[in-house]
Structure 1
Amino acid sequence: MSTSPHAINWFEIPVADFARAKAFYETVLGRGIETMTMGPSTMGFLSMSPDSVGGAIVQGEGVAPSRTGTLVYLNGGEDLAPMLARVEGAGGSVAVPKTDIGSGFGFFAHFIDTEGNKVGLHSMG
């Protein structure tokens, strides 16, 4: 059995209104999200590549959006600015604009999605 070099191997972003959240993340990420029902939950896959960390938006029993829980950073590509620029038009808000981390660690930003979750973006440019 191989082990992943990543500290995280899967994440879930809780949502209250699945259709609204799916539209938001498709707009911000600039790509479609595959949807699947798994038991009592509806999941929208943000990433399922075996070469990367996977994650999904999830609606179901026991999930509740939050601005104060664990903060997940999505890959902002080469430059997170285009994704961040789509946040407000998709119904979210920018909480922290693109910010230089310094020491060659790239840039980050935070946004509040349509469900009330605080989510981060990271890019090197």
Structure 2
Amino acid sequence: MEQNMVSWFEIPVLDMERAIAFYNAVFDINIQSQDFGGTFMGWFPFAEGKEGAAGSLIRDKNYQPSATHGVAIYFASQDVQIELDRVEAAGGKIAKPKTQISPEVGFMALFIDSEGNRIALHSRK
């Protein structure tokens, strides 16, 4: 295989404006949104040629947020505590504080976003 397995992800949302505000605040980014005939998407910033997958927020009748079901998405971080410290002020809840996985793998944390999704963070330190 010539690339990593994951190329795209979508995070379900109920309120696109609220979700965009949440993720912009937690990750200090600027998400752009677009309406595709009733399917609303908010694009996470993407850097061509850099590591990691691209993705979006999505509001569509076929998508439902979940804090307990489905795939867990891990966002890369320099230090998970940086983003974790912004979660509650942005309207989310911390589900698992910064926790060491192992010295070789690094650290992780879980939070529930403004829409009720379980989201994870990963960093080496």
Please say whether Structure 1 and Structure 2 have the same fold, judged by a TM-score greater than 0.5. yes
Bigger mean CA offset, 38-47 vs 101-110? 38-47
Measured after TM superposition, the shift of residue 4 of structure 1 is: 5.0
The gaps in structure 2 that reach 5 residues or longer are none
Give the 3 Å change call, closer, same or farther, for CA 50–64 of structure 1 in structure 2: same
Alignment map for 1:33-44 (pairs within 5 Å): 33-44=31-42
Q: In the alignment, which residue of structure 2 is the partner of 1:73?
A: 74
Give the 4+ runs in structure 1 shifted more than 3 A: none
- The CA distance in 2 between the partners of 1:42 and 1:56, in whole Å, is 10
What letter corresponds to residue 91 of structure 1 in structure 2?
G
- The CA distance in 1 between the partners of 2:93 and 2:2, in whole Å, is 33
Q: In the alignment, which residue of structure 1 is the partner of 2:105?
A: 105
The gaps in structure 1 that reach 5 residues or longer are none
- The CA distance in 1 between the partners of 2:97 and 2:37, in whole Å, is 38
Contact 2:40 2:58 in 1 (8 A): yes
Aligned residues: 122
Alignment map for 1:20-31 (pairs within 5 Å): 20-31=18-29
What letter corresponds to residue 21 of structure 2 in structure 1?
A
- The CA distance in 1 between the partners of 2:8 and 2:2, in whole Å, is 11
- The CA distance in 2 between the partners of 1:17 and 1:64, in whole Å, is 11
Normalised to the residue count of structure 1, the TM-score between the two structures is 0.91
Q: CA RMSD in A?
A: 1.3
Among all aligned residue pairs of Structure 1 and Structure 2, give the percentage whose two residues are the same amino acid: 39
- The CA distance in 1 between the partners of 2:101 and 2:123, in whole Å, is 10
- The CA distance in 1 between the partners of 2:65 and 2:122, in whole Å, is 21
Alpha-carbon displacement from aligned partner over 1:33-76 (angstroms, at most 9, x marks no partner) = 11122232111111333333101111112111011211001112
Normalised to the residue count of structure 2, the TM-score between the two structures is 0.91
Q: In the alignment, which residue of structure 1 is the partner of 2:114?
A: 114
